[in-house]
Amino acid sequence: MSKKEKSGSKMSFPHTYVIIFGLIIFAALLTWIVPAGHFPRIKDVATGKTIIVADQFAFIENTPVSFLDIPFKIVDALNKSSSIIFLVLIVGGAFHVIIKTGMFQALTAKVTKVFSNKDELLIPAFTTVFAVACMSMGVNTFIGFAPVAIILARSMGYDAIVGISMVALGGAIGFSTGTFNPFTTGVAQALAGLPMFSGLGYRIFCLVVFLVVTNIYILNYAKKIKKNPELSVVRDLEKLENNIENGENVMPEIEKRHYLVLAIVIGLFGLLIYGGAAWHWGLNQSAALFIWMAILGGLAYGFSPSTIAKEFVSGAKALVFGAL
């Protein structure tokens, strides 16, 4: 059998949309089989929310879904979820504009210089920067920093694992705790009917705890590798890469306009939190605020209106898959 025939016989994992569509078809099939029923719902006076009366279930007449009607149901669901979909697209566009200003990159370079002669402080500083950066976006946004972090770690006598950990683990902490994340916390709280970004104190507490534990782990590993490089789990790779060129990974110098962009981002996030708590802002108000972030942040850095629009579209385009 030829290599082509062998490769053709391998099963490929279906696209996510195919899996979801399969589940939709299965659910539609169940509407023809499973008896229909419902729980009565009443409005809770204390909270103002509609709640289910758990002990009053009753069977009702079946209303099975036609398979020909499934595409309409999908479109109807997208319409009903339009606030969430547009929030994801707008946030993606806004943060792409901010990232293109180089503010996060320059801030990282600044932290590196400040702690350049303080090895044990540099690692926590780096993980904290990426944790804060990923409070509101995915870790993959900053994966491009990995080569820089690896070079930095090697220059201090550590290995590539330490470098990638500063970026990946730091970012994972910021993302997983969902402190200000509109894609996870924001969407979930909107679906649950909770105030936007409520429970912030608990998420910040989790962020701090996870950062402390993770940094202890990375520092212990880093000290062990610095003392005995042969203990590195990627020792063979380190020997191959000992002459790595780093000229293409020069980080930008921080400028006054970067501080202005940073101030705009922090200020608007503060307004977002206050708006959710005091003014009961929902997804639409939050999305509008991120549009302002893209415009003000881009103009503060010196982008033209057309450049802001172009980068905004690029960022939104990258999140179409997740939004739908």
For residue 206, is pLDDT > 90?
A: yes
Task: Answer yes or no: is 89 within a domain.
Answer: yes
Same domain, 120 and 233: yes
Global pTM value: 0.69
Residue type, 284: N
Same domain, 55 and 168: no
Q: What sign has the CA pseudo-torsion 309, 312, 318, 320?
A: negative
Per cent of the chain over pLDDT 70 is: 89
Q: Residue 89: give the domain boundaries.
A: 84-102+252-324
For residue 278, is pLDDT > 70?
A: yes
Same domain, 165 and 204: yes
Q: What is the mean pLDDT of residues 238-257?
A: 63
Most confident of 89-93, 144-148, 246-250, 304-308: 304-308
In eight-state DSSP terms, residue 175 is H
pLDDT band per the 50, 70, 90 thresholds, residue 41:
confident
Which of these three, 194, 217, 246, is where a domain ends? 246
Task: Specify the pLDDT at position 29.
Answer: 95
Same domain, 144 and 212: yes
Distance CA 235, CA 228 (A): 11
For residue 110, is pLDDT > 60?
A: yes
Task: Answer yes or no: is 67 within a domain.
Answer: no
Task: Specify the pLDDT at position 248.
Answer: 45
Give the chain's end-to-end CA distance (angstroms, integer): 41
Task: Answer yes or no: is 2 within a domain.
Answer: no
Per cent of the chain over pLDDT 90 is: 40
Distance CA 113, CA 116 (A): 5
Same domain, 136 and 213: yes
Same domain, 32 and 137: no
Task: Specify the pLDDT at position 21.
Answer: 95
Question: Is the distance from CB of 116 to CB of 122 less than 8 angstroms?
Answer: yes
Distance CA 124, CA 132 (A): 12
Same domain, 186 and 230: yes
| 50-52/41-43 β-pairing | antiparallel
Question: Is the distance from CB of 171 to CB of 139 less than 8 angstroms?
Answer: yes
Task: Specify the pLDDT at position 200.
Answer: 87
Instruction: Give the chain's length.
Output: 324
Task: Answer yes or no: is 66 within a domain.
Answer: no
If one counts the domains in the chain, the total is 3
Task: Answer yes or no: is 76 within a domain.
Answer: no
The half-sphere exposure of 16 on its side-chain side, counting CA atoms within 13 A, is: 4
Q: What is the secondary structure of 215-229 as a DSSP string?
A: HHHHHHHHHHHHH-G
Go through 275-312 and write b for each residue having 16 or more CB atoms within 10 A of its CB, e for each that does not. bbeeeebbbeebbebbeebbbbbbbbbebeeeebbebb
Give the CA distances from residue 220 to residues 112, 216, 297, in Å, rounded to whole numbers and listed in that order: 20, 6, 39
Both structure tokens of 323: 């939004």
Task: Specify the pLDDT at position 153.
Answer: 83
Q: What is the mean pLDDT of residues 107-117?
A: 76
In 34-122, beta strands by DSSP E:
37-38, 41-43, 50-52, 58-59
pLDDT band per the 50, 70, 90 thresholds, residue 245:
very low
Q: What is the mean pLDDT of residues 177-181?
A: 86
Q: What is the mean pLDDT of residues 254-280?
A: 87
Same domain, 128 and 216: yes
pLDDT band per the 50, 70, 90 thresholds, residue 196:
confident
Q: Which one has a higher pLDDT value, 1 or 142?
A: 142
